[in-house]
Amino acid sequence: MMPYTRLLIPLWLFYMLLTNNWQLSNMVMGMVVAGWVAWLLRPSERKIVWRTVPGALAAAVYYLGILLVDLAQSGWQVVRIILFNQPINPGIIAIPSGCDSELGTALSAHAITVTPGEMVVEINEAGVMYTHCLEVDKAAEHMERAQKMRAELLQRIFI
């Protein structure tokens, strides 16, 4: 029952924020919809270790901060390439995700793809992400380092 409740609350909040109608009838409706979606998703029985929650939250905030800085820097780089017609050296490079879980690999791939100038084209069973970059030489050295840090943070978040 606990995993369902854990999923039900964020789903209900999601519904309430989306509809922005705090009348009782809509709140009940939100609970029904959230319950239905939670039942469809069938959450896992994994237990929360409350001792690790503050550390995980701090890691999540740090992870989002790094992602935002990456977004701003790479966005500006791509804008410069397009506006000033700078030369590019595109290509696909292999980057090991370094994550044990599929969720970690998926989140890493999302973080890479949401950053302009880098895009995951394929992931193999070993978790190697084949990433298309606008500047292969620059990206190859910095991306592996960035991915190691990302994998460590994700490990702390989802421990």
| Cα separation values, 115 from 9, 37, 66, 105, 133, Å | 30, 30, 11, 16, 10
Do the beta carbons of residue 121 and residue 131 sit within 8 Å? Answer: yes
Q: Which of 134, 146, 151, 157 binds another protein (CB under 8 A)?
A: 134
Q: Is 82 in the site for another protein (CB under 8 A)?
A: yes
The minimum distance between CB 142 and another protein, in angstroms, equals: 16
CA distance 147 to 53: 23
130 binds another protein (CB under 8 A): yes
Choosing from 23, 25, 44, 124, the residue that interacts with another protein (CB under 8 A) is 124
Nearest to 153 by CA among 73, 72, 61: 61
Which of 43, 62, 128, 156 lies at the binding interface for another protein (CB under 8 A)?
128
| CA dihedral over 117, 123, 126, 127, signed as positive or negative | positive
Q: Name the minimum Å distance from CB 5 to another protein.
A: 22
| Contact footprint for another protein (CB under 8 A) | 14, 16-18, 20, 71, 75, 78-79, 82-83, 85, 88-94, 109-110, 113-117, 119-122, 124, 128, 130, 132, 134, 136
